[in-house]
A and B are shown apart, each in its own frame.
Chain A
Amino acid sequence: MAWFICICRSVAPVILFAVLQGCATSSLFNAYPNQAVVFKKAIGPAQTDVMADKVLSDLSEERDSADAMLYMMERGRVAQLHSRFADSKQDFQLVISRFDEQDLESTVKLSDSAAQGSSLLVNDNAIPYKGAGYERIFTHHHQAFNYLGEKDLEGASVEFRKVALEQRILLEKHEQEVAEAYDEAAENDIDMSTLSEAFSGLDSVAGSVKSSFQNAYTFYASAAFWEATGELNSALVDYKKAYEINPDNSFIKQDIERVAFKQGGSSGDNVNIAKDNQGTIVVFFEDGFVPAKSEIKLPIPTFDGGFFSLAFPYYDVNQWPVSQSLKVMDDRFNELGRTEIVVDVGALAVKDLKERIPGLIVRQTLRAFAKYEMQKQAEKNGGAAGQLMASLYNIVSESADRRSWLTLPHTAQIMRFNLDEGVRELNFSTPIAQTSLALNVKPKKTTFVRVVNANNNLITQVYEL
């Protein structure tokens, strides 16, 4: 019986810890991607409204949980794609205020230390979700579209300015953070090189983006917004930033030439400028869902020469989905053009994980020591049965932190064209889905048409500027 008491004693504090620092870390024993399946299903055309209601109200209950940021990002996007802008605005507001709080949070936060402490005995899911840089950018991006949906152009302009600020700050900040993680590894005598090799497969995907947060889609949306509202200087700056990340994109090159021309520069051959009786349509196509993290088990060497297996989050880049472009046609099915990719959100996520690896390795190694120590204690006090229990606990509790905003699209694409005024029908199609939209084109006005491919259904939203 002694071994049983011993196990109870060692496991009880762990459970107590987990309970104390927020019962709602529901990803602790149920991998987050499994939970997110439902959220993704809730995005779809009108007939799934009942389901969306259910998902939105379920997610609403997570508002006070430790992972509130994550759940509110998901909820905000689901609500926005159902055109419930006020709801969605509230959700993203919570996320934004949490991000803002983090900026001036103290260096050592005791409640964080408690979470970190309990994560040493359970897994990284015990640490409250704090969001990634690219998710912060997307939060503001979505919030801007909420204001556009409510026809509040000033509100949208504030968000677009804020997102530009965040993109700049993150760029300055991230290099410093990566360097700090390496310093911490050196302090704890952890050899990064052997473990980093396991992640080298990620490079092929991560290499396709400039950094883990420089988001050309957001730059492009702000640029198109500034151009439509007459702030040509800001438009030019943002088009150029989008172009820097996507030098092969034919639309952005044209956009830069057009804005330069509007500012009094020389006229290029084809600057895609609207005639007096034409309106401009900017299509934002968001394809699929960003891939979820999978899990790999890596052996961590223990101090007495053995190995201890721990779970790491990983992106399986060999099974990376291929993104399709959207074909846009007029009412007679004449092709107006195809969208071009400006950002691969999957690649942003991979790059973000890659940048987290140094910190992750440090934490996992400390966890390996802690769990190994617990197992040895159990063996000493409880014999074979104790060791069995401890091993079982380790297997059950050892799961990788697979949390990330999963209703985000896999890729985001853009295109731009001008149409004569009046009601025009537009047809959109991908190889497996199609939809149409009647649009009231107003002369000299810009309309944002957002097309989202979710579960092979095309959802359209119109934002008039």
Chain B
Amino acid sequence: MTANNRLFGILVPVISVIVGLLAGAIIMLASGHNPIEGYAALWRGAFGDSYTLGETIRRTTPLILTGLAVAFAFKTGLFNIGAEGQVIVGWLASIWVGVAVEAPMIIHLPLAVLAGAVAGGLWGFIPGLLKAKLGVHEVIITIMMNYIALHVTNEIIRSILTDQATTTEPIAATASLASTWLQSITFYSRVHYGVLIALAAAFVMWFIIERTTYGYELKAVGFNRHASNYAGMNVSRNIILSMVLGGAFAGLAGTMEGLGTYGTISVMSGFTNLGFDGIAVALLGSNNAFGVVLAAILFGALKEGAGEMPTAAGVPTELVDIIIALIIFFVASSYIIRWALLRFKKGGNIDV
């Protein structure tokens, strides 16, 4: 059955993506657009030339990190729906350090990056603490924390970082992740060195989960909290740790936007959606570091390519959001895919 489970583990996401794209094609047909033109435009918008390729990598970078943030918590049986808020506070913190501190790059840049991770970690610590000590459900707390992050960040931008302006001044060059070299080879896209941080983070997550005692304990707590407790593991510490590390990953995603892409932070009227997309990335990537990177590339390409669809094929960009939502439904309802697959194989049992 293990081999079977591994096969399903790969088939379920692949089938979900195919069905999602097919549904997208049907929606395009139904709304009077040509799906072939639509998807061709999507492909060109994501991989058409070196510029779009650079932008696709830029868009993938924070998605890797928010995907890791959600996946990390999932490993411990927690649902971090608060990646969104952690992204926002991480973004704010790294811009704050980027603007307020003066130091040579070798100190300034790591400090600004670290600030983002710490802020995100702190934003994960609160729901982690409440979950571990009081048993409060982390889903609701993190949703509420998202809104608090959004409003408080806007207030800090308006009243503390600026004098009632909507955008901060740009960060010092010594805190920037921007890379003239990467930009010059991608026809001046906004791709930046942050992608290396994201890939390193994926490696770190893999290493922690698969190669350390901490990782073993985190997974054990995810499988069975009570057994882990009986085995002498400190369950509440592990819950808090997992939320803090997840939050730090999400905070770094905000840092990517702040120090890499924009160099500023603006008052936001709504969420960045990076955190919510991270849920989709983590689910599609089966909560596995390598899978998360692949899923982030897929969603990064879909989101970047969507920009080309209205002009080239008249298809609104929101089609991609619909496709992503449907992919989540299919992955979440993997029971139906397993059931369908098993109908083809006689005598198989359905393992939920």
- The answer to whether A and B interact is no
- Interface residues of B, Cβ cutoff 8 Å to A: none
- Interface residues of A, Cβ cutoff 8 Å to B: none
